[in-house]
Structure 1
């Protein structure tokens, strides 16, 4: 399977959504705490890690 930007971004969004759903369903924190504190920080971290991964892949792919 070859990954392009839409597939990779969709997979990233699915992982974050599944993580948030699991954390919200677990009852460890209130839903308000999960949505207001965990979701934004998880989304920002995922975006930064994704960007760094793309840049590293571009660096490795250049001869």
Structure 2
């Protein structure tokens, strides 16, 4: 499996979708709270973490 941008984005969205479904399914929080606050923050945090991880991997690959 080659990790390019579409594959990586799909995996990130899939992980966030599973997390969102789990939170909605557990009934821990109101669905509106999960969809309006938690899911966007998961996507933003995931994107930031992905960017930092890619840059770190590039750094490690050149050393």
TM-score by length of 2: 0.89
Question: Aligned pair count?
Answer: 63
Q: 1:19 aligns to what? A: 19
- The structure whose RCO (Cα within 8 Å, separation 6+) is larger is 2
List runs of 5+ in structure 2 lacking aligned partners: none
Structural RMSD (CA): 1.1
Structure 1 runs (4+) greater than 4 angstroms displaced: none
Q: 1:10 aligns to what? A: 10
TM-score by length of 1: 0.89
List runs of 5+ in structure 1 lacking aligned partners: none
Q: 2:59 aligns to what? A: 59
